[in-house]
Amino acid sequence: EAVSGAQLVAQALRAQNIEYMFGIVGIPVTEIAIAAQAVGIKYVGMRNEQAACYAASAVGYLTGRPGVCLVVSGPGFLHVLGGMANATINCWPLIVIGGSSDRNQETMGAFQEFPQVEAGRLYNKLSVRPSSLEVIPAVIEKAVRTSMYGRPGSCYIDIPGDFVNLQVNKSSVKYVECCLPPPISMAEHSAVSKAASVIALSKQPLLIIGKGAAYSHAENNIRKLVDLCGLPFLPTPMAKGVVPDNHPNCVAAARSTALQHADVIILLGARLNWILHFGLPPRYRQDVKVIQIDICAEELGNNVRPAATLLGDIKAVTEQLLEEFNKRSWKYPSNSEWWQKLRGKIKNNEERSKGLALQRSLPMNYYTVFHHIRELIPKDCILVSEGANTMDIGRTMLPNFYPRQRLDAGTFGTMGVGLGFAIAAAMVARDHTPGRRVVCIEGDSAFGFSGMEVETICRYNLPILIIVINNNGIYTGLDANSWEEMLKLGDPAACVPPVSLLPNAHYEKIMSAFGGKGYFVKTPEELQNALKASVADKQTPSLINVMIDPQSERKKQEFPWLTRSNL
């Protein structure tokens, strides 16, 4: 019995328990998408390969098993470099399958010919082309396994165009079973007891929870650890919700103070990169003791020499720490000077935000908008957020109560991820947690990167709520009057500020164009009504275009994006 290359690819993916494929079909991969659907893989056709790849990578983070992105040769492949890099830098499993030129036309200037395997090496843990149809299942098993084992990341598989419809006898194919779940590694006992001793001697401890902790499903252990030891904790942006943001030990509202004065910091699946200011002075104490817990040995010791290193799976290692502290019965006192300092700072910062949120002036500011969003969206919704000010202020104003329910620009600071992430989250939610809503909060500039994916959302009938926070620009914009004045000066390309976008752009009409519901809002009352209507309608996608003050910024800081202190 004969089987085609396209069928082999699809069957092998199914055998590895792959559920979702995103992509844009064309020569030579259309048959692969058709074959994937035939074996029960869900295929979502996107409008841009970049968004397709972001969607597939988010599936990997949300489910622990890679999504697949399917693209054509040449330009199609090149458009997913951003998605592959973003997945690898965020440590999310992903499989990209790219069609490529027929083998017998190599070096001849074939249609869309490009050295894809070679180019893919820079962005992926593995970049391979099967040498024959017979080995396709084995190569796909290796790619899926590699994407999940150790520190997760992206893997690329190159399928020459002539493989797709070529046929081979089933009996000669090397079929393989589904790869085993990733093995769980634990820290050595001496490192665990050393870490516990350092923590027990601390005067100003701080636990930092990273998205590695969210990915490893360590939430129950970490919550127990926080309660058992009474430790203050700070989540990185995508680790919000591992311990609920409203937990009394959360010190996110005193972030700078907590980082600057902690004498012992425990890193749970978080890296000392730009997001955490590298762990260096002046943002940290010169003599800070860092306890690093990470799945990746190469990460240990980056930027700061650690006091203890615990190499292993976050869930397993936090279990070890819990056992150790259960034996020691040590608890950090809740009436310490450190706690008083942190609580004072939290109270101050929360009052400042509250003051800004309650301003009645129009147009609205970011804080007012987020205040109303927070009051009206479901507590258990998946929040997707991207933008400059929109993402930064949204992170502080919108709480997460559950793990793996915040997706944003991430370690790579990638703009354009929002709609792809939202589509992935909505697909996963529909199958695994029916009824859970996806709320996608976009800056107007961020929305522009993949706004046409609104058609994809409507085509697959995904009840996503998109909220565009529209300030007519990137960071800041111009109001309509200033814009008119500006145009009198001559050619807009010569005189309009580079950060400006068209004032009062009606992004909501993109949604209504495809059959969803669009709302254009300027006042708190209009915003509340639009939010209530959108949340109540569980069937229809909607987009609320919220006009805010073009000059609205975060709290009293000039040019905060230049200082990076807000991140």
- Residue extents of the structural domains in the chain: 2-172, 189-344, 359-547
Average pLDDT on 44-56 reads 98
Which pLDDT does position 499 carry in this prediction?
A: 95
Domain 189-344 has CATH 3.40.50.1220: yes
User: Could you identify the residue written with the tokens 């690819």?
Assistant: 9
Instruction: Give the model confidence (pLDDT) of 249-260 as tens digits.
Output: 999 999 999 999
Instruction: Give the model confidence (pLDDT) of 265-289 as tens digits.
Output: 999 999 999 999 999 999 999 999 9
The secondary structure of 94-139 as a DSSP string is EEEEEEE--GGGTTS--TT---HHHHHTTT-SEEE--SSGGGHHHH
**What dotted CATH number matches 359-547?**
3.40.50.970
**H/E stretch holding 407:** strand 406-407
User: Could you identify the residue written with the tokens 């354009």?
Assistant: 416
Instruction: Give the model confidence (pLDDT) of 305-353 as tens digits.
Output: 999 999 999 999 999 999 999 999 899 999 999 999 999 999 999 999 9
- Whether 315 and 293 have beta carbons less than 8 Å apart is answered as no
User: Could you identify the residue written with the tokens 């991430």?
Assistant: 410
Which pLDDT does position 553 carry in this prediction?
A: 77
Task: Quote the CA–CA distance of 400 and 186 in Å, as a whole number.
Answer: 29
Kindly indicate the confidence band of residue 420, based on its pLDDT and cuts at 50, 70 and 90: very high
Which pLDDT does position 566 carry in this prediction?
A: 37
SS3 category, 461: coil
Which pLDDT does position 554 carry in this prediction?
A: 62
Nearest of 163, 111, 118 to residue 140 by alpha carbon? 163
Instruction: Give the model confidence (pLDDT) of 390-400 as tens digits.
Output: 999 999 999 99
- Whether 256 and 557 have beta carbons less than 8 Å apart is answered as no
Task: Quote the CA–CA distance of 205 and 195 in Å, as a whole number.
Answer: 12
Task: Quote the CA–CA distance of 166 and 14 in Å, as a whole number.
Answer: 20
User: Are domains 2-172 and 189-344 of this chain identical in fold?
Assistant: yes
**What dotted CATH number matches 2-172?**
3.40.50.970
Interaxial angle between packed helices 389-397 and 337-357, expressed in degrees from 0 to 180 and rounded to the nearest 10: 120
Task: Quote the CA–CA distance of 23 and 85 in Å, as a whole number.
Answer: 17
What is the distance, to the nearest Å, from the Cα of residue 311 to the centroid of all Cα atoms in its chain?
24
Task: Quote the CA–CA distance of 93 and 61 in Å, as a whole number.
Answer: 7
Average pLDDT on 92-118 reads 97
Task: Quote the CA–CA distance of 300 and 290 in Å, as a whole number.
Answer: 10
- Whether 542 and 376 have beta carbons less than 8 Å apart is answered as no
pLDDT tops 80 at residue 556: no
**pLDDT above 90: percentage of residues in the chain:** 96
Instruction: Give the model confidence (pLDDT) of 520-536 as tens digits.
Output: 999 999 999 999 999 99
Which pLDDT does position 498 carry in this prediction?
A: 95
Average pLDDT on 445-453 reads 97
pLDDT tops 60 at residue 564: no
pLDDT tops 80 at residue 557: no
Task: Quote the CA–CA distance of 349 and 556 in Å, as a whole number.
Answer: 12
